[in-house]
């Protein structure tokens, strides 16, 4: 089996890179110890600060085609438990699980002496590291904390400097995605002396409105508020921002990745973009702590199949493959090809191409796309997605691609309900790659 042991920020060790993110699953010591028993390698404690009063209700979600909690919105704030209770339980967890990582997430008033005090207390309790919560987008920002700090590079740098004046353990700065360029605050954290970064925190959101009461969700006495959005829906945004930070030569800090991580594939993708550890919150809230078993087994087996002995063997390997658009090869050419033996004749690709793309798919004698679309849903519902026998019969009108008109946009491939029915095939010879930047330069 591949070796998943992790050393993060030079000094924080854990049996694997899977951490509970700061949030409800890491609210107290009893939860975190159960998580460690289930296999989690570490935990970032739910943010500690002066206790607050939370509201009821707190969560809402976006569901999609039967998938519950594709995106989760919360208006819950930091820990509502006394600081002393949290610190006592940190000590207890570290005594019982000395090989697991326990990181204290901190958020207090923007005063130097208050930050000094909470840092010393958290480290005295046994924390392996400190995560400075500069990202919370709701509730705390109105009090001059959270994203109110993380959106201003000068503030982020200043508070990081205050913490580093007394900290003995690695300091992580948790970044907000609610900013035009996350790299600006990452650079500020680096300037302030941060040892690592956590990214991303939740995204400002309103998930929906009850059309009977006209109140956005979650409903708190007939009113609601913007909240923090997380879960699988935010993963593409998190991947982008992790890549942006990891590729920035002015940052060059270890990254603890957060954002929609719910399986081993997600984990592998974030590591390929430079992540050192992986934090999950929505997934254990949805499925429970034992979800980590599949994460560990899946990542280990994938690493074995690829010949990666440890996490460092593939960390960051995808970073050189991400570039600015101006450097992409304009002469690279692919086209869509449809397998008539597996095509079920639903004509969804035809409709999508004509209404949403470049009108290169044709069906002999077919109805207009808007009429074909009306028949598509019923066709798909009653059709197996992985046919084992040929469906090509004279009665079926199989779409055909005009390869001279096809621009290789991928839309037909993306909407096709039959796996491997449509293939995107390269047709250029690859002899003369040319980017837009090169073409402008040679013009």
Question: What pLDDT, on the 0 to 100 scale, is given for residue 367?
Answer: 52
Q: What's the per-residue H, E or C state across the chain?
A: CCECCEEECCCEEECCCEEECCCHHHCCHHHHHHHHHHCCCEEECCCECCCCCCCCCCEEEEEECCEEEEEEEECCCCCCCCHHHHHHHHHHHHHHCCCCEEEEEECCCCCHHHHHHHHHHHHHCCCCEEEEECCCCCCCHHHCCCHHHHCCHHHHHHHHHHHHHHCCCCEEEECCCCCCCHHHHHHHHHHHCCCEEEECCCEEECCCECCCCCCECCCECCECCCEEEECHHHHHHHHHHHHHHHCCCCCCCCEEEECCCCCHHHHHHHHHCCCCEEEECHHHHHHCCCHHHHHHHHHHHHHHHHCCCEHHHCCCCCHHHCCCHHHCECCCCEEEEECCCCCCCCCHHHHHHHHHCCCCEECCCCCCHHHHHHHHHHHHHCCCCCCCCCCCCCCCCCCEECCCCCCCCCHHHHHCCCCCCEEEEECCCCCCCCEHHHHHHHC
Domain positions in the chain are 6-321, 325-426
Pairing of strands 361-362, 400-401: antiparallel
Domain 325-426, what fold?
Answer: Alpha-Beta Plaits (3.30.70)
Predicted pLDDT of residue 369: 61
**443 residues of the chain, pLDDT tens digit each:** 899 999 999 999 999 999 999 999 999 999 999 999 999 999 999 999 998 898 999 999 999 989 999 999 999 989 999 999 999 999 999 999 999 999 999 999 999 999 999 999 999 999 999 999 998 877 677 677 778 888 999 999 999 999 999 999 999 999 999 999 999 999 999 999 999 999 999 999 999 999 999 999 999 999 999 999 999 999 999 999 999 999 999 999 999 999 999 999 999 999 999 999 999 999 999 999 999 999 999 999 999 999 999 999 999 999 999 999 999 999 999 999 999 999 999 999 999 999 999 999 999 865 556 555 554 554 554 444 444 444 444 457 899 999 999 999 999 999 999 999 999 999 998 889 999 999 999 88
C-alpha span between 194 and 131 (Å, rounded)? 10
What pTM does this model have? 0.91
* CA distances in angstroms from 384 to 319, 381, 417, listed in the order given: 38, 8, 9
Q: Which of 300, 245, 296 is nearest to 274 (CA)?
A: 245
pLDDT at 137: 79
What pLDDT score does 387 carry? Answer: 45
User: Exposed (0-12), middle (13-18) or buried (19+): which is 406, by Cβ within 10 Å?
Assistant: buried
Give the other-Cβ count within 10 Å of 404's Cβ: 7
pLDDT of residue 150: 87
**pLDDT score of 442:** 87
Active site residues: 136
CB of 374 closer than 8 Å to CB of 350: no
Q: At the fourth CATH level, which superfamily is domain 6-321?
A: Aldolase class I (3.20.20.70)
């Amino acid at each position: 089996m591949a070796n998943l042991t992790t050393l993060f920020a030079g000094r924080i060790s854990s049996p694997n890179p899977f951490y509970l993110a700061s949030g409800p699953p890491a609210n107290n010591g009893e939860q975190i110890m159960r998580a460690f028993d289930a296999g989690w390698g570490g935990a970032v404690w739910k943010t500690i600060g002066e206790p607050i009063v939370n509201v009821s209700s707190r969560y809402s979600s976006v569901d999609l085609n039967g998938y519950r909690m594709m995106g989760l919105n919360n208006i819950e704030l930091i820990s509502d438990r006394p600081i002393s209770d949290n610190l006592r339980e940190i000590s207890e967890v570290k005594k019982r699980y000395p090989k697991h990582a326990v990181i204290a997430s901190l958020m207090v008033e923007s005063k130097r002496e208050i930050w000094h005090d909470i840092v010393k207390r958290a480290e005295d309790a046994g924390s392996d590291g400190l995560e400075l919560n500069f990202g919370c987008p709701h509730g705390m920002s109105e009090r001059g904390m959270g994203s109110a700090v993380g959106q201003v590079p000068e503030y982020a740098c200043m508070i990081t400097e205050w913490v580093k004046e007394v900290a003995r353990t690695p300091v992580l700065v948790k970044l907000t995605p609610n900013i035009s360029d996350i790299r600006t605050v990452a650079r500020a954290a680096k300037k302030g002396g941060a040892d690592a970064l956590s990214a991303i925190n939740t995204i400002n959101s309103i998930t929906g409105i009850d059309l009977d009461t006209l109140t956005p969700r979650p409903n708190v006495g007939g009113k609601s508020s913007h909240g923090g959005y997380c879960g699988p829906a935010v993963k593409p945004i998190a991947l982008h921002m992790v890549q942006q930070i990891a590729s920035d030569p002015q940052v060059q800090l270890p990254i603890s990745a957060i954002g929609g991580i719910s399986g081993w594939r997600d984990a592998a993708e974030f590591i390929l973009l430079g992540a050192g550890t992986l934090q999950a919150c929505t997934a254990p809230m949805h499925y429970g702590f034992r979800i980590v078993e599949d994460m560990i087994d899946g990542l280990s087996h994938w690493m074995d199949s690829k010949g990666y002995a440890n996490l460092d063997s593939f960390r960051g390997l995808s970073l050189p493959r991400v570039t600015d658009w101006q450097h992409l090869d304009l002469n690279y050419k692919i086209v869509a090809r449809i397998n008539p033996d597996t095509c079920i004749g639903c004509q969804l690709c035809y409709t999508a191409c004509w209404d949403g793309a470049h009108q290169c798919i044709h069906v002999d004698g077919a109805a207009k796309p808007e009429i074909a679309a009306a028949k598509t849903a019923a066709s798909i519902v009653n059709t197996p997605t992985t046919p084992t026998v040929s469906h090509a019969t004279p009665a079926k009108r199989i779409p055909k691609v005009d390869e001279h008109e096809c621009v290789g946009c991928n839309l037909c491939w993306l909407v096709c309900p039959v796996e491997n029915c449509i293939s995107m095939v390269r047709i250029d010879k690859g002899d003369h790659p040319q980017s837009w930047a090169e073409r402008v330069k040679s013009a």
